[in-house]
Amino acid sequence: MKIAILGGGPAGLYFAISMKLRDAAHEITVYERNRPDDTFGWGVVLSDETMGNFGENDPVSEAMIRQNFAYWDDIKVVRGDDSMTSGGHGFCGIGRMKLLLLLQERARDLDVTLNFETEMDEVRIADLKASHDLVVAADGLNSRVRKTYADRFGAQIDLRRNHFVWLGTKQKFDDAFTFIFEQTEHGWIWAHAYQFDDDTATFIVECGPETYLAFGFDTLSQADSIALCERIFARHLGGHSLMTNANHIRGSAWIQFPRVTCESWHFDNVVLLGDASATAHFSIGSGSKLGMESAIALADELNAGKRLSQALADYQQARQLQVLRVTSAARNSTEWFEEVERYLDLDLTQFTYSLLTRSQRIGHENLRLRDPEWLGNAESWFQSRAGSQSRRRPMFAPFKLRDMVLENRVVVSPMAQYKAVDGNPTDWHFVHYAERAKGGAGLVFTEMLCVSPEGRITPGCPCIGPDQEAAWRRLNDFIHAETDAKICAQIGHAGRKGSTRLAWEGIDKPLIEGNWPLISASALPYLPESQTPKAMDRADMDRIKAQFVAAVQTADRAGFDMIEMHAAHGYLLASFISPVTNLREDEYGGDLENRMRYPLEVFAAMRGAWPASKPMTVRISAHDWMGDDGVTPEDAVRIAALFHQAGADAINVSSGQTSKDEKPVYGRMFQAPFSDRIRNELGVPTLVAGNIYEPDHVNSILMAGRADLVLLARPHLADPYWTLHAAVELGDTAQAWPAPYEGGRRQANTLAERAKAMA
């Protein structure tokens, strides 16, 4: 093949090398706009795993790179006068300029033609496209090729919030990758510092836009900007200066990170590589890694005997998921630093844990593998804050709300069963909830218990009133007598989402016959085929509020330990809160304070009817997934604050299900960021669910301070004894089992210990 590579960075050079290794007859030319020894970064971070990939692909260049590495094992967090170090992280760094020179040397040895100081424009790019079999756009995040053919790649560029400047220093940071957080007269500013050769370290300075503007970095020259950074970080620089290699840039050289994503990475004989196709934030140090590993994959596909179009399509398919995983982790890390001031008041142990796990690539047990002593001390700190002297994992720490004390932080999430008869719970409910209480969770939620027959979602949904009191009392008496679990009644009204079929008969579809009248904040049907609800008037509001109060009184008599008001997922109370479902023009519609008026009125009535010694929570939708048209995470903070001020002991943070037009973004623990924000901006206890299915998820959410209680739904459908089995999996022999199951506990722990020993 005759190949033109535009961009002489690590990705472009490594692709040239990889192609030549597979077929020396390839005719490859690299075009680079800068000089051979120009570079505008300082160090490149690579992991042991990445170096293993490089060794399999080209042992020669891998050895050349490895001989020039600076290694470190620790991550050090410095916040003001305090510091904390965690080990076992296994990174290595190399100067970016050194890496480029080594790859240039290897490429020349393989007969790759390197052309430097060569500018490209649209005409030149088109000429190369016409005269070559393949044009590889490895020309970085500001790719000229991607801009030239913008309509073919579907690029989206998200300019992130924070500002940063990439500097270097002769100060030594060779003992650890160091994060330094300094509080200044204009807010917090921080540095990412790491060694990359014997005498030079990268020193990236970052801050939020308010601090950036307050210091005037936007108007300073580079020299003045650097001098100011030297003053801010003087006690960490040991008299050494900060250096720039961006003298070609006017102004202070501070920039904002552009997050690049592309729908397509190729068309005709043009393909994007590295940062041209997707960018990973510098805070996880994976940009060069991604580009070079993608170079290997592209070379493999192009030398597999396929048509060019098929090879390029297979390359994108093979790499896109892995790149997405890394860039998603990078997005998590980016957002953590954008919101870092939310966490800076946390205890340094929890702050460090939050930083280490910010990308979600590193979990709780992975940290134990890296530094068991540090994590053990962190777990002891967490337990002591919970009033325990144990060294067990965070999920097994007690938790108290008012007079209710939970044995652990695992919660069985509300899950509709659709097995009630005429609003009455049946033996199914008794067995279902009793089994999960026996399974070790600290708290068990009921599904939404409806305040009236007309408030049901389906004919199979249970109610809570005098007619159901005995059945719920029987269940609660059993749970309290036979288990350590506490039980919460979630109380709500379906609103416009009522009068529908059982889930397995057509979820959200209206009943074929026997429909009952619906009410909501506004006369808007949920689906086009749904019944149009009546917009509630004041008489309706008074009647429904009285039903909620009666439900609370029944819950108390039935022996529930806690109640939750359901104000999420588009049900009746949620329909007032969301602007998507509340189009009222009276005092209950309009701005958020008005939309919250009726839900707060109902909450106050419920709280007044519930014993002061017992806790009450509220479930909210923190995101309607409807852009600015619905409730946003910013709104959710205000919603949570209003409920907390009214007496809510904790906020159960959920999202979505307000409208079928929603566009949710799912992923592991996808609702944890909403909980995190509410908990740490308001100082309010939170509960969270949402694609949480491993003990590691639970422990990392708790330890990082993203929630106080963690709800699991589907895992508890699959395994009522999830908590007991998680304890066995984690080697936690302190977990109590029901007395009749003691033999099973001993055997499970013995088998787990045997399997561990054999492994």
In this predicted model, what pLDDT tens digit does every residue of 271-306 receive, in sequence order? 999 999 999 888 887 789 899 999 999 999 999 999
pLDDT at 72: 84
Q: What does 170-201 look like in DSSP terms, one character per residue? A: SS--TTSEEEEEEEETTEEEEEEEEE-SSS-E
Distance (Å, whole) CA 332 – CA 124: 38
pLDDT at 205: 98
User: 3-state DSSP call for residue 575?
Assistant: helix
- CATH number given to 405-718: 3.20.20.70
Instruction: Give the single-character DSSP code of 306.
Output: -
SS (H, E, C) 218-258: CCCCHHHHHHHHHHHCHHHHCCCCEECCCCCCCCCCCEEEE
Packed helices 372-385 and 348-356: angle between N→C axes, nearest 10 degrees: 130
Distance (Å, whole) CA 285 – CA 292: 13
Distance (Å, whole) CA 143 – CA 487: 57
Distance (Å, whole) CA 412 – CA 718: 12
Token digits of residue 221: 């020259």
Token digits of residue 286: 């994976």
Distance (Å, whole) CA 207 – CA 187: 9
Packed helices 59-66 and 48-57: angle between N→C axes, nearest 10 degrees: 140
Counting as low any pLDDT under 70, the low residues of the chain are 39-41, 248-251
Identify whether the C-beta of residue 589 lies closer than 8 Å to the C-beta of residue 582: yes
pLDDT at 340: 97
**Among the CATH numbers 3.40.228.10, 3.40.50.150, 3.40.1410.10, 3.50.50.60, which is that of 2-338?**
3.50.50.60
pLDDT at 40: 64
> In the chain, what are the domain boundaries?
2-338, 405-718
Handedness of CA 51, 52, 58, 63 (dihedral sign): positive
Instruction: Give the single-character DSSP code of 510.
Output: B
Distance (Å, whole) CA 356 – CA 23: 42
Percent of the chain with pLDDT over 70: 99
Give the residue numbers annotated as catalytic, written as ranges: 571
Residues 6+ apart with CB under 8 A from 412: 436, 437, 439, 441, 443, 444, 445, 711, 712, 716
Distance (Å, whole) CA 306 – CA 300: 10
Token digits of residue 529: 């085929």
Handedness of CA 272, 274, 275, 279 (dihedral sign): positive
Residues 6+ apart with CB under 8 A from 611: 556
Q: What sections of 565-621 are H helices per DSSP?
A: 572-577, 592-595, 597-609
Bridge partners (DSSP) listed for residue 489? 563
Identify whether the C-beta of residue 310 lies closer than 8 Å to the C-beta of residue 359: no
User: pLDDT, tens digit, for every residue of 650-674?
Assistant: 999 999 999 999 999 998 899 999 9
Distance (Å, whole) CA 91 – CA 65: 14
Torsion angle of the four alpha carbons 244, 247, 248, 253, in this order, in degrees rounded to the nearest 10: 60
Token digits of residue 583: 């189009």
User: 3-state DSSP call for residue 446?
Assistant: strand
pLDDT at 732: 96
